[in-house]
Structure 1
Amino acid sequence: MKRQSRLAMPKGWRFTISAGDHHAGRQVFVDFECYKCHEVAGEDFPAPRVEQGNVGPALSGMGAMHPAEYFLETMIDPNASAAWRIKHHKDEDKGYLGADGTSKMPSYNDTMTTQQLIDLVAYLKGLTAGAHQH
């Protein structure tokens, strides 16, 4: 009889992000100045700077379009999202890409806590007004 390892993964297990606090997530959005590159219609954030050009996609309505794990991945690895956008939005202005073809979005892996990340995802998931279809 083979002994089952205590480290075995439960059948059907899938990673999901825990629920966060969207109010705290909005504050994370402000604290990390995400509004400098990402427009959110209906919010009173300062507008992205004109000299930056079209850096990041507008986030209005994005909460209805993507699962929480998508937002999590885009913040942990901004290039994963950039690669998807390049493939699926070929005619879009790629202002979010640097000259080397990688995302201009900085990594916050060393500065943002896990709780801040979870709360920011909760805020982004709450951005459902004005959703558009791909």
Structure 2
Amino acid sequence: MDYPLLNAFMTMLWFFLWVMWFVLLFRIIGDVFRDDSMSGWGKAGWTIFVCVVPFLGCFVYLIARGRGMGERDRRQMQEQEQAFRSYVQQAAADTPAPTGPSHTDELIRLAGLHDHGDITDAEYEQAKAKVLASH
């Protein structure tokens, strides 16, 4: 099995270039369909051009419309962030605020007072019964 290190390096280089090529191709196709200002015929034309003549299509697309790709990405991310923020604000507004300490919190507080010796056993049992009765 004779496979020199340089050949292994070249194989990996070609593999990574091939992966990068597909990432670029999918990014361009995604950008074509993300652009709301482009008509349906324009989207179909660019898609066909990029799929039929991939190298030339991608390079021409990057030259002709590459500047707006980042702008469209930024705008979409801002819209998604705004939608997320409005959803969180709406969800927070719909959730009722707690009115006070829960029964569990009250029992934990009483146990802490009892453990530190701030209240006697009788006082602890009486307060615990009162909390449990209000539940």
Smaller-chain TM-score range?
A: under 0.3
Q: Which structure would you say has the larger RCO, counting Cα contacts within 8 Å and 6 or more residues apart?
A: 1
Normalising by structure 2, we get a TM-score of 0.21
Higher helix share: 2
Normalising by structure 1, we get a TM-score of 0.21
